[in-house]
Structure 1
Amino acid sequence: ERLGDLLAVLDIGTGSARFVAVDEAGKFVHFSSFRMRYSASDGLAGVGFELDAEWLWKNVARMVRDSGVADRVIGVGVTSQRYAAVFTDDEGRPLYAGPNLDARGVFVQHVLMERLGRDFHRITGHWPPLIFMPSRILWFKREKPDVYAKFGRFLNLCDWVTFKFCGEYATDYSNASETIMFDVSRLEWSGRMLEELGVTVDQLPRVVEAGTAVGEVTREACNETGIPEGTTVVACGGDTQCAVLAARGVSEGDACAVAGTTTPIQMVLSKPVVDPDRRIWTSCHVLPGRWVLESNAGITGRLVEWFKDGVAKGEAEDAEKRGLNPYDELFRMAEEAPLGAGGILASMGPQIMDYREGIRIFLSTLAFPPLIMVDKPTTKGELFRALLENVAFAVRANCEQLREVSGVEIRELKVTGGLARSSFFLRLISDVTGLPVRSPLEKQGSSLGCAICIAKGVGLYSSFEDAIRGMVREGESVSPSPEKHKEYEAVYSRWRQFYDKVAGLGV
């Protein structure tokens, strides 16, 4: 008999780590968070970053313990930023931890490119190697062989936190596919990749379906977090796939834009489709028998934050003094500006994903400020609208790319994430793409998707379908305005020409 009633979600993103306690109806009963902290790696020309894993665990444990609800937890699960990695010794003690920002692999990725060529993308569904686990392993093997010799386990960040809770090494298929050592077609660790790296299967976590119980909270973890010893720990998916799940992205052709710091757009497929031109990525979905094809629109929410803290700092501070949400005020200003932002075009930041370009396109996603073409006096509302239209145009272009590669039409776009809290943003996406847009009520999709996995794992629901029906509540739905969509056709055409010219400059 269960004495508790809550599902404990640890959602470790790029910007913050969150603890969310969720009930069986999908309601967030408790939410707390802290900012993530990274350090630049010495001698890596500003592209190497590290994370203090023990610092992270101590703060996660404290956050859970201080929540006041730890004793009510009946199941625990972890999701995290994709491509974040922890390399440990044989006892699970971290020797290296790096966020998804760590691109030290740029210095050695050419080795994998030369040895594996197009097979790298064909096997793993990803390209180029620079930010992925294989390149980091190879970097340590070449640059710090003494540290490399001590590595006993190669884990995703969420897998290591799961280990801290239950002492077991396990991952789900979606996270396994994000290690880039997994064969996305055969659904097994790739012998070819492991041979090239000198890694054995024993050094990797066992792979299970998401929603599978993999262990129980240990006495040590109980003492640190307050969650009862013996509580079930469940394997959960990667953060983006969890968000897609929580937006009801489950069937062939379902497309979902997760509009957060960046905006990955994933299409659900019933078989793995790998782009022969290596522009976009293929991964496993949380659901068994499902894959996701991803075309990422790059920096989006971070662009909004940059505008608020810089260009519109005065307006944001004034809104806060009046007790208003500064983001709501900015979106109001943008909505009042004319369609097409008075002729202003913005580019850079958001992108049309094409990772054949390797390091250039990766670094372009970090470019600030955005390039804005202005030839007349303008207002901050018009500038902000231009930035949002830039995001919407990038979303449309990436949706078109998904359709081209998959051969599957997108009939509706699901949108979740922080930007989806704005009704204007949802209408803008709909008007620009010409697609109906549907958004779930709960925008913190990665956390809710993780909770869905836990709910299945502890037996609250017998299937993902039942869990989604019981835990996901519908939010706003909008249809495109035929008149506005027609007007945006001309603006989008200008933006594509502008974008292609900027991309052609190699910046």
Structure 2
Amino acid sequence: MWMGIDLGTQSVRAVVAGDDGEILGSGSAPLTGRRDGVRHEQRPLDWWTAVCAASRRALRDGPAPRALAVCATSGTVLLGDAAGRPLTPGVMYDDGRAAAEAARAGTSPSWGLPKAMWLLREHGGAADGGAVRIMHQADVVLARLAGTPLPTDSSHALKTGYDSEWDAWPWRRLGKLGLPDGLFPDVVRPGTRIGEVGRAAAEETGIPAGTTIVAGMTDGCAAQIASGALAVGSWNSVLGTTLVLKGVTSSPVEDPAGVVYNHRAPDGSRLPGGASGVGGGALTATFRDADPARLDALARAHEPARVVAYPLVATGERFPFVAPEATGFLLGEPASDAEHWLALLTGVGLVERLCFDYLDLLGAPAHGALTFTGGAVRSRYWSRLRADILGRPVRIPRYSEPALGMAVLAAYGAGATDTLHRAAARMVRLRHVLHPHPTRTAWYTEPYLTLVDELERRGWLPGPVAAHARTRTENP
């Protein structure tokens, strides 16, 4: 049996899965943070407290895992001491306070590197004395599990500046940014055995002491593993609080704009993708006490949406374009909550379509099998709507959570299979396939072009990207 732990934005999820992918135990615990304008922080102690609660619930029926792996949000960083103890709050992936540092580093403000630079400036860490370390969200939990700091993985380290092509930190570049070598953790490939659960952590979490710890990946990559989309040309679209697209290619997808980045899989293949700021978070922000199933049922009567929405969760966009100043908007006035709900659901699908058009512009092979994962797949209506907007068949796995992806990675890392692809083929189960309806797909051409036009008019979407999106509506 294998355990996966997922540190999300709103909760921690832990699962124990058997060799056949059957979920034998699961547990979750909520997380809260501090949001104030572009500020978004969480307390590292809360991560550990939630991990303990979720793990105990997952193990309450007695299954004992042989190995575990942990995934977390991409681009979330903090400062810690040499013993792996947090010194600052965790600055979350969508925190926008490091815009100036991002300009210096030549990256998106959503990346961990400019956030680390901002933290060093704001908190005055003794970087030159070696007392301060840059840590990722998963590193905090791993240090508590093992009782000592462990190496980070190249997936979480990617947005902190790690060069996955050379498998090394670019020391010269980092030095020019005033960041000495001692700030950065050791890095290993995902799937590498890096330690064991210690006795103190065993008492708090219920995970047996001596359980193997395998280096994990970011939550988007974890969801991709859980989707089973590991063949070259396949893609996984993860829709939860925000939208993340991940694919598989044999070589990196080059993007001069830096919108698409490339993780490296344990087998050396590339996992290109991007993370948008649109997603289900816009629904919960607009309809705090809503019954999603009831609004889904009411929304059907209003298709296609006459109101065009750009449903950003917070200020700033990262994919399929970078616009730190971008804000959500509605074009038109909804006549009811059901129509407003439908506009938000449709808006996410339209941005998802634009993401695939951008990938096509970059030359990425984007026509392979497509899988949907993330919390949004609980709504079959929304999944069908997105499939219609995209105009392509969609696979829905039986279990689609990133925690399962980490259980699969743990199985591979512990030697249960010789490749990650085989581990996923054995443990990932398909629930059903959604097929788009051509008539409904045609409905969304006009609202899609309206959204593209408006994003370009506001100066957020570059002209060549908008032009390619228009061309793709004529020659899909």
The alignment's TM-score, normalised by the length of structure 2, stands at 0.87
Structure 1 residue 33: Cα displacement? 2.0
In structure 1, what is the equivalent of residue 466 of structure 2? Answer: none
In structure 1, what is the equivalent of residue 156 of structure 2? Answer: 175
In structure 1, what is the equivalent of residue 145 of structure 2? Answer: 165
* Alignment RMSD: 2.7
Question: For 2:255, which of 275, 280, 286 is the aligned residue?
Answer: 275
SS of the residue aligned with 2:201? helix
1:105 and 2:98 matched: yes
SS of the residue aligned with 2:248? strand
1:255 and 2:235 matched: yes
Deviations 1:274-295 (A, max 9, x none): 21233x1212143422223324
Question: For 1:488, which of 444, 449, 458 is the aligned residue?
Answer: 444
Contact 2:3 2:14 in 1 (8 A): yes
Listed as ranges, the gaps of 5+ residues in structure 2 are: 463-476
1:349 and 2:312 matched: yes
Deviations 1:50-89 (A, max 9, x none): 3322343234224434552567232222111111123211
In structure 1, what is the equivalent of residue 295 of structure 2? Answer: 330
Which aligned pairs between 1:43-442 and structure 2 lie closer than 5 A? 46-65=37-56, 67-69=59-61, 72-98=64-90, 99-112=92-105, 120=106, 127-128=107-108, 130-146=109-125, 148=127, 151-166=131-146, 167-179=148-160, 181-201=161-181, 203-278=183-258, 280-309=259-288, 313=289, 316=290, 326-338=291-303, 340-341=304-305, 343-349=306-312, 353-357=319-323, 359-361=324-326, 364=327, 367=328, 370-374=329-333, 378-442=335-399
In structure 2, what is the equivalent of residue 117 of structure 1? Answer: none
- Which sits farther off after the overlay, 434-443 or 407-416? 407-416
What is the one-letter code of the residue matched to 2:279? T
Listed as ranges, the gaps of 5+ residues in structure 1 are: 1-5, 113-119, 121-126, 317-325
In structure 2, what is the equivalent of residue 26 of structure 1? Answer: 21
Partners of 2:408 and 2:247 in 1: CA distance: 20
Contact 1:259 1:300 in 2 (8 A): yes
Contact 2:377 2:396 in 1 (8 A): yes
Deviations 1:339-365 (A, max 9, x none): x22x222234276825443x214xx3x
- Change in Cα spacing, 1:70 to 1:235, as seen in structure 2 (3 Å) is farther
In structure 1, what is the equivalent of residue 470 of structure 2? Answer: none
- Which sits farther off after the overlay, 64-73 or 18-27? 64-73
Partners of 1:493 and 1:266 in 2: CA distance: 24
What is the one-letter code of the residue matched to 1:32? G
Partners of 1:385 and 1:355 in 2: CA distance: 24
What is the one-letter code of the residue matched to 1:385? L
- Change in Cα spacing, 1:12 to 1:384, as seen in structure 2 (3 Å) is same
Structure 1 residue 475: Cα displacement? 1.8
Partners of 1:396 and 1:154 in 2: CA distance: 36
Partners of 1:296 and 1:133 in 2: CA distance: 14
Partners of 1:429 and 1:228 in 2: CA distance: 42
In structure 2, what is the equivalent of residue 322 of structure 1? Answer: none
Contact 1:420 1:439 in 2 (8 A): yes
Deviations 1:384-413 (A, max 9, x none): 222211111111111000111134342442
- Change in Cα spacing, 1:133 to 1:429, as seen in structure 2 (3 Å) is closer
Structure 1 residue 158: Cα displacement? 0.6
- Change in Cα spacing, 1:142 to 1:72, as seen in structure 2 (3 Å) is closer
Contact 1:11 1:18 in 2 (8 A): yes
What is the one-letter code of the residue matched to 1:332? A
Contact 1:421 1:443 in 2 (8 A): no
Deviations 1:91-114 (A, max 9, x none): 2221123122333322433433xx
Contact 1:9 1:19 in 2 (8 A): yes
The alignment's TM-score, normalised by the length of structure 1, stands at 0.82
What is the one-letter code of the residue matched to 1:337? H
SS of the residue aligned with 2:257? coil
Count of aligned positions:
455
What is the one-letter code of the residue matched to 2:194? V
Partners of 1:158 and 1:352 in 2: CA distance: 22
SS of the residue aligned with 1:382? helix
Structure 1 residue 198: Cα displacement? 4.3
Partners of 2:248 and 2:218 in 1: CA distance: 14
1:38 and 2:33 matched: yes
Q: Identity over the aligned pairs, expressed in percent?
A: 26
SS of the residue aligned with 2:79? strand
Structure 1 residue 155: Cα displacement? 1.9
Partners of 1:296 and 1:92 in 2: CA distance: 28
Contact 1:259 1:301 in 2 (8 A): yes
- Change in Cα spacing, 1:144 to 1:202, as seen in structure 2 (3 Å) is closer
1:10 and 2:2 matched: no
Contact 1:250 1:287 in 2 (8 A): no
- Change in Cα spacing, 1:490 to 1:145, as seen in structure 2 (3 Å) is closer
Question: For 1:457, which of 413, 418, 423 is the aligned residue?
Answer: 413
